[in-house]
Amino acid sequence: MYTVSVRRPFIAQHFLTVPDPGPEGTLHSHQFTVVLEFDGESLGEYGYLVDIDAINAALDSVVDTYADTTLNDQPAFEGLNPSVEHFSRIVCEHVLDRAAPTNPDRIRVRIWEDDDAFASYEQPLADQ
């Protein structure tokens, strides 16, 4: 199994909208680190699992959309508590809308919200 990962840090803000959120219920910043991982059994014609330039461009779009913003104000979070779990799925969908790799079997998005905690979302790519 081959794996290719690309990561990018950026700062964004949010506040949780659940009952009794504690200090997370007030606007605060995180230095998020997004890690995109693609897994696959075989390489493409030129010996690549994914086109890293295309993945970097999709990740640039994620950063352009979410960096230095309040996640609660973003259309993708409308009606949602802006948890890192939701964020990982939203980033996955954003990336796949902009770069649709055909060779890997799976994509995994991990978003670290600090040095100790991350959430992830993954899906098979054969279902695209």
Phi, psi dihedrals of residue 55, rounded to the nearest 5°: -70, -40
For residue 87 the two structure tokens come to 């964020």
Average pLDDT of 7-15? 97
Global confidence as pTM: 0.93
3-state helix, strand, coil in the chain (%, to 5): 30, 30, 35
Q: What CATH number corresponds to the domain at position 107?
A: 3.30.479.10
**Which of 63, 87, 64, 65 lies closest to 14, judged by CA?**
87
CB 90 within 8 A of CB 77: yes
Residue 127 has pLDDT above 90, yes or no: no
Q: Domain count of the chain?
A: 1
Could you tell me if residue 116 is inside a domain?
A: yes
- pLDDT score recorded for residue 102: 79
Single-letter residue type at 90 = I
**Interval 46-68: pLDDT, tens:** 999 999 999 999 999 999 999 99
- pLDDT score recorded for residue 128: 45
**Interval 62-121: pLDDT, tens:** 999 999 999 999 999 999 999 999 999 999 999 999 987 878 999 999 999 999 999 999
Could you tell me if residue 20 is inside a domain?
A: no
For residue 1 the two structure tokens come to 């199994």
Could you tell me if residue 106 is inside a domain?
A: yes
- pLDDT score recorded for residue 31: 97
